[in-house]
Amino acid sequence: MNCDVKYPLYETTVFENFRVMVENVARKFPDRIAYSYKNEPHDNKTVDVTFSEVRDYVRNMGTELIFLGCTDKKVALIGETSYNWICSYYALIATGAIVVPIDKDTPLGELAGLLNFAECEYLIYSNSIEEKIMQVGDSAPTLRTYICMGEPKMESALKLSDLAEKGKAKFEKGDNSYYDYEIDPDRLATIVFTSGTTGKGKGVMLSQKNIASDMTQGMYLFAITPKTMCVLPPHHTYCSTVVFVGHFAQGCTIFINSGLKYFLNEIKEQQPSHLVLVPLFVETMYKRIWTTAQKSGKADTLKRMLKVSNLLRKIGIDLRRVFFKSILDNFGGKLEMIISGGAAINQDIIDMFDAIGITILNGYGITECSPLVSCNRNKYQKKGSVGIPIIGEQIKIKDPDENGEGEICVNGPNVMLGYYKNPEATAAAFDEEGYFMTGDYGKIDEEGWLFITGRRKNIIVLSNGKNVYPEEVEQEVQRIDGVSEVVVYAGETKNQNNKEVIVAEIFPDYELLRLKGIEGTEAINAYFNKEIKKVNSRMAPHKTIRRVKIREEEFIKNTSKKILRHAIDKSIDNEDSTEN
């Protein structure tokens, strides 16, 4: 469904590939700061890099990467968000390498599995994970070249800055291979793993056209401000596409956050005019506002001021930046907008921020769509909605029910090429009309606004934007001796609504446990808590099981002997569960 966008489109920057993107923005804003960061979190001064300096660094790096043979090869890119990570991403894609971004917190065994599955021959990594990288060794036999973003301790590893210097020397002597390389925007450019598991997960294959079109078409709908701050993990397409491509291409200055614990301090210090966040960060800011107000005894005053301000706005008087100056100053004083995506966000939080003078633009995306699918506009929003489809994309609701709700399906140039080494899953992901079936459920109203009404049946979507697939965790728990049945879910609590707790509810094999000498509630709880800690140590942090519930009876099942998940009491307020 195509939508009336109600007011003129914003100016966007059109580019067909990463090389053109880097060249265009450097030509347009050569001396403007592109990226800013600190070498150490407590440094007073930032390292500032202009758009023309980014272009030169990417070109030099790309020249040497071509010389090293990276073109057409799979290259793993692992580390925290950094200037070197970003420029490696640009250079690799611009020179025809296939980038495989991997979460730096991926456990060693899982990491080796992903490297093998993707057949990576090169690995570019940050110093912070070098110890883990050194342990990969023979478990990833396809790897032949290691490149460190900093000073490597591994003897065989190359240093990224050295490669850039060598590439610079080659370019200055007439090597024009970086510019001569003929880019095919439709070919595979990156493989993004969605579930973070070895082989079991899906590798989403995206082209440069997928990513470039997602941003050139998406940026027509909303206007960004001159400066933002990057706090999202780089392997997530929400960051790598929306920030590293969409914002960079528009000439936005991006400060790279020094780490999550410095988030609030650096907002105040760096004074971004807008942010790109997942709801977890927005919720942190929201809590900071109310905690500060309560500690100072001004919570009631704040509530009254919000009511007065909202009434004044109805008659055309906007004093938000005067009334709430002290709050806004805590966020740097210049923050006027937050783009939120990756998970659902409470409308009450959106309304509260709007009331103090910060607009939250809620959007919807999925990795398979590069990821942006829809978004609200700066001056065109609807409560509860994730916005309107980006330009050039079609959304339909498959098999809608009487309320118009059904599976959200997407068609457009931003939709993936398919799943890596998984033609069956690829075929199953598209319907007969060629639309990608997201697995998310929602509806489109009469004005073309998209509303998400439910997620895929079992996925746990955390407020930090990460997904937990219960079946994967359940497989690990099933390996514990004495587990007969297990269901993993997000616990529900009335006492702490903001607390996310992943629960493993177990129906034990009581007979086996008795044979092992484990009897009685206390002993059984102690045994499973100990075993669950072992399971947690093998999984990524966001999959950690926090609570264990022991059942006395087996789960209710249907006639096909499948457990009825909806029939489970997911409450964790009672005392028949133990924290892990």
Q: Is residue 464 part of a domain?
A: no
Q: In this model, does residue 3 exceed pLDDT 60?
A: no
281 and 266 in a common domain: no
| Backbone torsions φ then ψ of 90, nearest 5 degrees | -60, -50
264 and 309 in a common domain: no
Alpha helices in 315-452 (DSSP H): 320-323, 325-330, 347-356, 423-429
CATH label of the domain that carries residue 283: 3.40.50.12780
359 and 306 in a common domain: yes
Residue of higher predicted confidence among 441 and 329: 329
309 and 163 in a common domain: no
Q: Is residue 180 part of a domain?
A: yes
pLDDT of residue 500: 79
- Which of 413, 429, 454 terminates a domain? The answer is 454
The whole model's pTM is what? 0.81
pLDDT of residue 1: 44
Q: Is residue 4 part of a domain?
A: no
Single-letter code of the amino acid located at 253 = T
523 and 440 in a common domain: no
Q: Is residue 199 part of a domain?
A: no
CATH label of the domain that carries residue 575: 3.30.300.30
434 and 485 in a common domain: no
pLDDT of residue 478: 81
Q: Please, are residues 434 and 411 in contact by the beta-carbon 8 Å criterion?
A: yes
pLDDT of residue 466: 77
- Which of 251, 270, 289 terminates a domain? The answer is 270
Least confident of 29-43, 164-178, 477-491: 477-491
Distance separating alpha carbons of residues 17 and 91, to the nearest angstrom: 11
pLDDT of residue 347: 82
Cα atoms in the 13 Å half-sphere on the side-chain side of 269: 18
pLDDT of residue 78: 98
Cα atoms in the 13 Å half-sphere on the side-chain side of 337: 17
343 and 316 in a common domain: yes
pLDDT of residue 197: 26
pLDDT in tens, 57-99: 999 999 999 999 999 999 999 999 999 999 999 999 999 999 9
Q: Is residue 203 part of a domain?
A: no
Q: Is residue 198 part of a domain?
A: no
148 and 42 in a common domain: yes
CB-CB neighbours of 24 under 10 Å? 17
Q: What is the residue range of 416's domain?
A: 274-333+336-454
SS (H, E, C) 438-484: EEEEEEECCCCCEEEEECCCCCEECCCCCEECHHHHHHHHHCCCCEE
pLDDT in tens, 142-169: 999 999 999 999 999 999 999 999 999 9
Q: In this model, does residue 201 exceed pLDDT 80?
A: no
503 and 437 in a common domain: no
Q: What is the tally of structural domains in the chain? A: 3
Distance separating alpha carbons of residues 213 and 217, to the nearest angstrom: 6
pLDDT in tens, 222-232: 899 999 999 99
The confidence band for 288, taking pLDDT boundaries of 50, 70 and 90, is: confident
293 and 175 in a common domain: no
The confidence band for 560, taking pLDDT boundaries of 50, 70 and 90, is: very low
pLDDT of residue 496: 62
Residue of higher predicted confidence among 579 and 219: 219
Residue of higher predicted confidence among 349 and 465: 349
Q: Is residue 6 part of a domain?
A: no
Q: Please, are residues 425 and 202 in contact by the beta-carbon 8 Å criterion?
A: yes
508 and 448 in a common domain: no
Question: pLDDT averaged over the chain?
Answer: 91
Residue of higher predicted confidence among 212 and 511: 212
76 and 153 in a common domain: yes
Q: Is residue 216 part of a domain?
A: no
